[in-house]
């Protein structure tokens, strides 16, 4: 049975628990999916979720008035029980218990389907690694259940990517959802793919000397390896919570970051063209072993140099990276390409004949 036939069949079923008996079910499914498409045009998975969505609400606390058909809760014994009428605020989504209903069967079916798809992914499958570490329910509203009004987060992101906003410490709270959806959605992947396309076009246009001195410099975090499984965590919130170096270094030490797929494609194209690869990262020298094994596990199996920040390396990321590139140039290397997610990767001395910037609206490094 196809999904449309399934919707038509559902249309013939009268759900007595549903107060919307006057409207055909199919109309409700389409209205929901179309409303989501309007707000999130690039998130095709979310359109499908709207089409097959169910209804649920938090329990164990006061029923919020923004819950659809709130008036029917008056029939529920919990409505007048003082034990269940406190306000839950700032307790974290993991501590919230949601109601169980017929729609949850659908959740289980979809979840089992995703688990099957995920199980057939090969070892380095980006989707598999990201999906496994993301909480099933992501909040899309404030603590009181109301949609937050935002400054224009798309304009904020554009200002970040163009280096018009500098030295910012955190993703604005009201843009946490926006950044999360962007990073997990198709737009981020497409934005990275076009950077790789342009870099490949440029690399193929060059004639290399063939003396092993033509290099391509790659940054690591959010350029060749993705920390999205870490940034999607509820204690990180895509950078909307202050940066915690201890937590981040613990995650890096695990050495399980997946590749940024577009950058891995670029890397795989550069090698047979004769480029030597240099990874230049602000990670501490102490993390060398886990960084190296992570790169290999993610598919970056060889490189000319892996440069990490040592105790003696001083200055901002831009100064440190400029110094390291200058050392490379002084030892005879030619930097033909340089790619990073931070402006500090691609500004400064000896930045390379051409630079490429991949998106990163989650953090800023000077
Ligand atoms: Mg980086």
As annotated, the binding site for Fe cation includes 28, 53, 102
Span of 18-32, 72-86, 310-324, 332-346 with lowest mean pLDDT: 18-32
Kindly provide the residue ranges of all beta strands, DSSP E only, lying in 87-180, ordered along the sequence. 97-98
CA 148 / ligand 1 centre spacing (Å)? 30
Handedness of CA 294, 296, 298, 300 (dihedral sign): positive
pLDDT of residue 277: 98
The H or E element spanning position 277 is strand 276-284
CA 361 / ligand 1 centre spacing (Å)? 11
CA 215 / ligand 1 centre spacing (Å)? 18
Q: Is 319's pLDDT higher than 80?
A: yes
CA 219 / ligand 1 centre spacing (Å)? 5
CA 317 / ligand 1 centre spacing (Å)? 10
pLDDT of residue 50: 85
pLDDT of residue 307: 98
Name every residue whose Cβ is closer than 8 Å to that of residue 202 and which is 6 or more positions away in sequence: 337, 354
Mean pLDDT of 57-61: 82
CA 99 / ligand 1 centre spacing (Å)? 41
Structure-block tokens of residue 362: 């989650």
Span of 113-122, 186-195, 291-300 with lowest mean pLDDT: 113-122
pLDDT of residue 42: 81
- Identify any residues that bridge with 307 across adjacent strands, giving them in sequence order: 280
CA 103 / ligand 1 centre spacing (Å)? 41
CA 51 / ligand 1 centre spacing (Å)? 37
Angle at 355 (CA atoms; ends 238, 178), nearest 5 degrees? 20
CA 227 / ligand 1 centre spacing (Å)? 10
Q: What are the DSSP calls for 289-356, one per residue?
A: HHHHHHHHHTT----SEEEEE-TT--S-HHHHHHHHHHHHHHTT-EEEEEEESSHHHHSSTT--SEEE
CA 220 / ligand 1 centre spacing (Å)? 5
Question: Per-domain residue ranges for the chain?
Answer: 3-131, 154-357
pLDDT of residue 320: 98
CA 224 / ligand 1 centre spacing (Å)? 8
Pairwise pLDDT comparison (69 vs 164), residue with the higher score: 164
pLDDT of residue 137: 45
Residue (of 60, 107, 52) closest to 81 by Cα position? 60
CA 318 / ligand 1 centre spacing (Å)? 12
Mean pLDDT of 65-88: 84
Look-up of token digits 């029917």: 72
How many other β-carbons are positioned within 10 Å of the β-carbon of residue 142? 14
CA 147 / ligand 1 centre spacing (Å)? 32
CA 342 / ligand 1 centre spacing (Å)? 6
Q: How far apart are CA 173 and CA 206, in angstroms?
A: 44
pLDDT of residue 66: 81
Q: Which tens digit of pLDDT belongs to each residue from 221-255?
A: 999 999 999 999 989 999 999 999 999 999 999 99
CA 74 / ligand 1 centre spacing (Å)? 53
pLDDT of residue 53: 78
Q: Residue 142: which pLDDT band, with cuts at 50, 70 and 90?
A: very low
Buried/exposed 305-322: b ≥16 CB within 10 Å, e otherwise: ebbbbeeebeeebbebbb
Structure-block tokens of residue 214: 């033509």
CA 246 / ligand 1 centre spacing (Å)? 17
Pairwise pLDDT comparison (234 vs 312), residue with the higher score: 312
Structure-block tokens of residue 217: 């410099």
Mean pLDDT of 200-228: 97
Q: Residue 60: which pLDDT band, with cuts at 50, 70 and 90?
A: confident
As annotated, the binding site includes 28, 53, 102
- Please report, to the nearest 10 degrees, the dihedral formed by the alpha carbons of residues 255, 260, 263, 268 taken in order: 60
pLDDT of residue 140: 40
Query: Counting every residue, how long is the chain?
Result: 366
Q: Which tens digit of pLDDT belongs to each residue from 252-285?
A: 999 999 999 999 999 999 999 999 999 999 999 9
CA 250 / ligand 1 centre spacing (Å)? 17
> What does CATH list as the number for 154-357?
3.40.50.1000
Q: Residue 95: which pLDDT band, with cuts at 50, 70 and 90?
A: confident
Q: Residue 139: which pLDDT band, with cuts at 50, 70 and 90?
A: very low
Name every residue whose Cβ is closer than 8 Å to that of residue 72 and which is 6 or more positions away in sequence: 19
Q: Is 121's pLDDT higher than 90?
A: no
Q: Which residues place a Cβ less than 5 A from the ion ligand 1?
A: 219, 221-223, 341
Q: Which tens digit of pLDDT belongs to each residue from 21-41?
A: 667 777 878 888 888 988 888
pLDDT of residue 17: 60
CA 341 / ligand 1 centre spacing (Å)? 5
């Amino acid at each position: 049975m196809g999904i449309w036939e399934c919707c038509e069949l559902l249309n013939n079923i009268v759900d007595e628990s549903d107060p919307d008996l006057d409207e055909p079910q199919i109309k409700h499914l389409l209205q929901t999916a179309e409303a989501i498409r309007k707000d999130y045009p690039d998130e095709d998975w979310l359109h499908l979720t709207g089409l097959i969505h169910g209804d649920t609400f938090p329990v164990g606390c006061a029923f919020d008035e923004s819950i659809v058909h709130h008036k029917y809760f008056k029939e529920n014994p919990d409505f007048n029980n003082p034990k269940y009428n406190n306000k839950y605020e700032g307790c974290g989504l993991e501590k919230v218990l949601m109601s169980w209903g017929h729609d949850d069967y659908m959740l289980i079916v979809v979840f089992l389907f995703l688990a099957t798809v995920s199980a057939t992914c090969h070892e380095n499958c980006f989707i598999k690694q990201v999906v496994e570490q993301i909480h099933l329910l992501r909040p899309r509203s404030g603590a009181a259940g109301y949609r937050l009004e935002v400054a224009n987060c798309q304009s904020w992101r554009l200002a970040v990517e163009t280096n018009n906003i500098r030295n910012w410490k955190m993703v604005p709270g009201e843009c946490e959802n926006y950044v999360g959806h962007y990073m997990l959605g198709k737009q981020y992947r497409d934005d990275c793919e076009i950077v790789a396309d342009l870099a490949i076009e440029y690399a193929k246009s060059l004639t290399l000397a063939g003396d092993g001195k033509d290099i391509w410099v790659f940054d690591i975090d959010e350029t060749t390896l993705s920390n999205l499984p870490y940034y999607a965590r509820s204690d990180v919130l895509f950078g909307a919570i202050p940066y915690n170096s201890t937590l981040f270094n613990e995650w890096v030490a695990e050495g399980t970051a997946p590749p940024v797929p577009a950058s891995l494609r670029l890397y795989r194209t550069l090698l047979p063209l004769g480029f030597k690869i240099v990874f230049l990262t602000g990670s501490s020298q102490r993390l060398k072993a886990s960084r190296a094994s992570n790169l290999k596990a993610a598919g970056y199996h060889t490189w000319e140099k892996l440069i990490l920040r040592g105790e003696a390396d001083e200055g901002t990321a831009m100064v440190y990276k400029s110094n390291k590139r200058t050392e490379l140039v002084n030892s005879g290397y030619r930097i033909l390409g340089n790619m990073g997610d931070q402006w500090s990767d691609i500004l400064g001395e000896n930045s390379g004949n051409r630079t490429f910037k991949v998106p990163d609206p989650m953090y800023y490094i000077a």
